[in-house]
């Protein structure tokens, strides 16, 4: 199953998650340019595991290095993204995206007592479960069990997944007071909200002419402040982020459609096919036509 993002970089979680609030993804990095996914967010918990490569998992402004066997839990609504740093092949990267309602309904006492404190903890943007940590050995086993059940879907797999994720959340809750706090200042929280607004605008209007002033206006801030937000979280300017996303969209179109380069260029907001080709080669080291041949 592929991760699909809406224009606001929120994952379009499959509709059946309403029946069973867990989604499973794998092998995403193989289809992503440079084995890197865009920064996005969603109102669910996320657990991802590095299997064969070394990964850079960004949560907010923090970059976490995941070695093979390491897993990470990301709290809801946190900006996050992934990039593979090393490894001969794309890491399978099994990912579980799930709601706390997999444990109990939101209106229940169990949810209020055990889930709400986790998702409402402002000093807990993420938890890393290291492969060489005895403390998290049981948690990692439960994560693997849940991923295997979601992948293979044997009889009663939902109950297996529910038990496993319940165990993971219980472990986090039990260690909530002893986990190292990662507080975000008011300035950081404000910057993240502003960035989310600007990213939402940028990804909704990428096919149209977009200026730095347009992006900044989406968050009601100055162009210089917009630049600081993008540099702090993405390490690039707003205009560079726009070009990167346009190129990512073009990469997908080259793989998934029979549109001409001229059509793709226009659909992705480039003012000329020649400029599109130059930017594509600069970013990916090959021409769009070469990528299409390799992709097919």
Residue 3 maps to a domain: no
Confidence at residue 66, expressed as pLDDT on a 0 to 100 scale: 97
Does one domain contain both 128 and 51?
A: yes
Structure confidence by residue, pLDDT tens digits, 97-119: 999 999 999 999 999 999 999 99
Domain at 121, CATH number = 2.60.120.280
Closest CA to 24 of 127, 158, 169: 158
Confidence at residue 16, expressed as pLDDT on a 0 to 100 scale: 57
- 135's CB contacts (< 8 A; 6+ apart) are none
Does one domain contain both 38 and 158?
A: yes
Does one domain contain both 265 and 205?
A: yes
Domain boundary among the residues 148, 174, 200 is at 174
Exposure class string for 115-144: b at 16+ Cβ within 10 A, else e: beebbebeebbbbebbeeeeebeebbebbb
Cα separation, 163 vs 215, in Å, equals 44
Structure confidence by residue, pLDDT tens digits, 70-93: 999 999 988 899 999 999 899 999
Does one domain contain both 68 and 198?
A: no
Does one domain contain both 86 and 127?
A: yes
Residue 2 maps to a domain: no
Confidence at residue 28, expressed as pLDDT on a 0 to 100 scale: 87
Domain at 198, CATH number = 1.10.10.60
Confidence at residue 6, expressed as pLDDT on a 0 to 100 scale: 44
Flag residues of the chain having pLDDT under 50: 1-12, 296
Domain boundary among the residues 174, 206, 229 is at 174
Domain range for residue 158?
15-174
Does one domain contain both 147 and 24?
A: yes
- 185's CB contacts (< 8 A; 6+ apart) are none
Domain total of the chain: 2
Task: Please give the structure tokens belonging to residue 22.
Answer: 């867990």
Residue 105 maps to a domain: yes
Grouping H, G, I as helix, E, B as strand and the rest as coil, residue 82 is: strand
């Amino acid at each position: 199953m592929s991760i699909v993002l809406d224009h606001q970089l929120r994952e379009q979680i499959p509709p059946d998650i309403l029946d069973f609030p867990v989604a499973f993804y794998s092998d995403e990095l193989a289809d992503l340019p440079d084995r890197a996914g865009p920064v996005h967010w969603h109102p669910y918990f996320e657990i991802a595991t590095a299997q064969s490569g070394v990964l850079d998992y960004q949560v907010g402004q923090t970059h976490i290095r995941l070695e093979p066997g390491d897993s990470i839990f990301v709290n809801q609504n946190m900006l996050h993204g992934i990039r593979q740093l090393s490894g001969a092949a794309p890491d399978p990267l099994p990912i579980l995206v799930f709601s706390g309602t997999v444990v109990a309904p939101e209106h229940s006492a169990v949810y209020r007592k055990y889930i709400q404190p986790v998702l409402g903890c402002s000093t807990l943007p993420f938890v890393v479960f290291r492969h060489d940590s005895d403390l998290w050995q049981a948690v990692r086993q439960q994560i693997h069990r849940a991923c295997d059940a979601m992948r293979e879907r044997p009889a009663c797999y939902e109950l297996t997944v529910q038990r496993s994720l319940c165990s993971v959340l219980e472990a986090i809750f039990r260690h909530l007071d002893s986990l190292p706090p990662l507080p975000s200042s008011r300035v950081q929280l404000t910057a993240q909200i502003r960035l989310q607004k600007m990213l939402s605008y940028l990804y909704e209007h990428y096919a149209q002419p977009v200026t730095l002033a347009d992006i900044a206006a989406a968050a009601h801030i100055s162009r210089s402040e917009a630049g600081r937000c993008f540099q702090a979280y993405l390490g690039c300017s707003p205009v560079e982020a726009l070009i990167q996303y346009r190129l990512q969209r073009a990469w997908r179109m080259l793989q998934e459609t029979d549109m001409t380069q001229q059509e793709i260029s226009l659909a992705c907001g480039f003012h000329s096919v020649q400029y599109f080709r130059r930017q594509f080669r600069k970013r990916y080291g090959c021409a769009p036509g070469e990528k299409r041949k390799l992709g097919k």
